[in-house]
Amino acid sequence: MAGIRLERLGKVFGATRAVDGIDLTIPDGEFVVLVGPSGCGKTTTLNMIAGLEVPTSGDIWIGDDRVTDWEPGDRSLGMVFQSLALFPHMTVFDNIAFPLRVKRVAPAEIERRVRAVGDTVHVGHLLAKRPATLSGGEAQRVALARTLVVEPSVFLMDEPLSSLDAKLRVEMRTEIKRLHGTLRSTFVYVTHDQAEAMTMADRIVVMHQGRIQQVGRPLEVYGNPANRFVAGFFGVPAMNFVEGELHAESGGARFVAQALGLSLPGQRLGSGPAVLGVRPEHVRLVSAGESWPAAVSLIEPLGDATLVFLDYGGPSSLVAKVDAEEKLAVGDRRSFTFRRDRIVLFDAATGGRLST
Amino acid sequence: MRQRGFPLFPLVRHTLLLAWAAVTLFPIYWMVMTSFKQAAEWVTWPPRWFPHEPTLVNYVKVLTPGTSTFELGRQTLKILKPIGDSLIVSGIGSLIAVLLGSALAYSWARFGTGGRSYPYNILSIRMVPPIVIAVPFVVYFVTLRLLDTYTGLILVYLATSLPYVIWMMLAFVEEVPVELERAARVMGASRWKVLRSVVLPLTASGLVVTFLFVFILNWSELLLAMTLTNTEVSTIPIQLNKFQSANEGRDYGPQAAIGTIATLPVVVLGFLIQKHLLRGFSFGLLRK
């Protein structure tokens, strides 16, 4: 069992700063998901933890050891790769036995442990097969078994589910989370899929352009984004952004945009260009109170809810997520408002969070 | 649609291809047939398409142990020594080339050794016509006392084979996903263990194909061998070449037997590696 600590960790490839001096502490037993768009540095960070990339600067600690310049094999890690990396010239048994053979475990012990772990992840009946003959889900399980068999204290996973179809992906997601519940080892999981991050993580680390944007529990990151990038990254459909101006008022502030204006009492925000963010589920169709008129331009029923695109006179439509029972038709004129306690404001220039 | 009409185009195409095949294969056919003929049938008119009394006497003659050195302008038709020399020179040269070249290909593919354009620089060795390097080689070899030695010819074949080995092995190495090696290293395997348990088994067929390919090239190489050897070392192509102006210029039967023996391994190996060659080369082309 071991926690992980990254100190000012950086990696430069030629002229590119892939990872730009990040600090992160992962307590023992936590399931951490590194998430971000491709090229954000999440895989490079994972590879540095694994020892497959040498950091340009900074240090990596696993447990009480400074492992920055250790060989990958000495770090007592298990890693599952995007391509799964099953050895095509070996049977499933030999694949799972490989890490044990490297460690010169006795043959009888290898036999016992491979069969035991094979039963745990339900690949016991596949041991004689070659990887090429396995289905996507089976190969996934074999890759897991090969990682589990040495009982590592840290699991690293690099988008392990990306090759699976949507249904299987959701199943394996649950299964990996359950596995973490049983093992209580430290898991570091890399993905670009925000749904995987939200559903699996104890804590999410959002990365962008080599830097950590926010670290927090899934609902924290979703509901209380640190900046515009994080706000836009999570949520389907994405958060609505309205560009406008903030004006300081006596006893609060006022946000003014094209065809839209709302007062924010009790908030000291200063003045200047700003961006208002509101999630579709926090846009309400109302008939009274402070609201703005709009025309319904498009309707997308999801089954459990309906997405409504509202043309209110601004540069782009607002998306509202409303109850599926709501009676609506394209062309309807409706009034809408926002849930005030869920509005977030960002600095227009830096994208940093303004309100609380 | 087109199937309904008379298949004129395929017919013409096949006819032309068959005709061309006949033109190219005829000398080989004639050589093989002559090698089984008695002396009387070598030059009869009208020609005999098949030996009427097939015989192995030509083969016995050339394969009987003896020397193959010049005897006052006479050459003997013994070829055991040339076969041995060819095996030694092509075999060792090709083997060292494959060992060095595959290591180079691996280190370039994985670590970028030598820089981005390294394989192209190496390939430029093959852009130079052999005759250009043959004469400078003679000068160096005289100084280094390598003229007419096994070592000398092996070195030359090693140098000329390396570009082929590097390029072929690049294609095979690049087929091995890096993640396989990384996975093995995370599991605790040393670099050597990774090479032995992952890279080698997955590139083994490539190594064999590459070896056979350069072996065939070296086996049939004439120009450099002729320039850099004299009497001590004599490969099969040199031996074949000697027949043209020698007194035995009319010993067609034994000559045909030697020709057949020299061609046989090339043809057999060529058929064996044909499928792999196509695969290896096309991957190399697609990736670059």
Q: If DSSP states are collapsed to H, E and C, what string results for chain B?
A: CHHHCCCHHHHHHHHHHHHHHHHHHHHHHHHHHHHCCCHHHCCCCCCCCCCCCCCCHHHHHHHCCCCCCEECCEECCCCHHHHHHHHHHHHHHHHHHHHHHHHHHHHHHHHCCCCCCHHHHHHHHHHCCHHHHHHHHHHHHHHHCCCCCHHHHHHHHHHHHHHHHHHHHHHHHHCCCHHHHHHHHHCCCCHHHHHHHHHHHHHHHHHHHHHHHHHHHHHCCCHHHHHHCCCCCCCHHHHHHHHHCCHHHHCHHHHHHHHHHHHHHHHHHHHHHHHHHHHHHHHHHHHC
- Nearest chain A alpha carbon to B182: A52
> pLDDT tens for residues B30-53?
999 999 998 888 888 888 888 888
Considering only the beta carbons, identify the residue of B186, B193, B201 that sits closest to A50. B186
Res A170: pLDDT: 92
Identify the pLDDT of residue B69. Answer: 44
In chain B, what are the domain boundaries? 80-280
Q: Chain B contact for A109, CB < 8 A?
A: no
DSSP A113: H
CB A143 within 8 A of CB A80: yes
The ipTM, to two decimals, is 0.83
| B-chain residue closest to A103, CA distance | B188
Query: Nearest-CA distance from A43 to chain B in Å?
Result: 13
CATH architecture of B80-280: Orthogonal Bundle (1.10)
pLDDT given for residue B68 in this prediction: 45
Distance CA A43, CA A59 (A): 17
Confidence of residue B246 (pLDDT cuts 50, 70, 90): low
Taking the alpha carbons of B167, B172, B175, B176 in that order, is the dihedral positive or negative?
negative
Q: A85, B180: Cβ pair inside 8 Å?
A: yes
Which pLDDT does position B283 carry in this prediction? 46
How close A17 comes to chain B (CA, Å)?
20
Contact B36, B54 (CB under 8 A): yes
Residue of A nearest to B204 (CA): A89
Give the model's pLDDT for residue B281. Answer: 52
Task: Work out the mean pLDDT of chain B and round it to a whole number.
Answer: 84
Q: Give chain A positions within 8 Å (CB) of B186.
A: 50-52, 72-73, 77-79, 156
Integer-rounded Cα Rg, in Å, for chain A is 25
Question: For chain B, what percent of residues have pLDDT higher than 70?
Answer: 87
Pairing between strand A333-338 and A292-301? antiparallel
Residue-level pLDDT, tens digit, chain A, 356 residues:
689 999 999 999 988 999 999 999 999 999 999 999 999 999 999 999 999 999 999 999 999 999 999 999 999 899 999 999 999 999 999 999 999 999 999 999 999 999 999 998 899 999 999 999 999 889 999 999 999 999 998 999 999 998 888 899 999 999 999 999 999 999 999 999 999 999 999 999 999 999 999 999 999 999 999 999 999 999 989 999 999 999 888 888 889 998 888 888 877 788 889 999 999 999 999 988 888 999 999 999 999 999 999 999 989 999 999 999 888 999 999 999 999 889 999 999 999 998 65
Burial A3-22 (b: 16+ CB within 10 A, else e): bbbbbebbbeeeeebbbbbb
Q: What is the pLDDT of residue B286?
A: 40
Residue from the list A78, A85, A156 with its beta carbon closest to the beta carbon of B179: A85
* Per-residue tokens: B223: 């120009």
Which candidate from B188, B197, B201 shows the least CB-CB separation from A103? B188
Q: Residue B70: CB partners within 8 Å, gap ≥ 6?
A: B231
In this complex, is the C-beta atom of A205 within 8 Å of any C-beta atom belonging to chain B? no
| A98 to B184: CB separation less than 8 angstroms, yes or no | yes
CA distances from B254 to B26, B28, B31, B49, B74 (A): 19, 15, 10, 18, 15
Q: Which residues of B touch A85 (CB under 8 A)?
A: 177, 179-180, 182-183
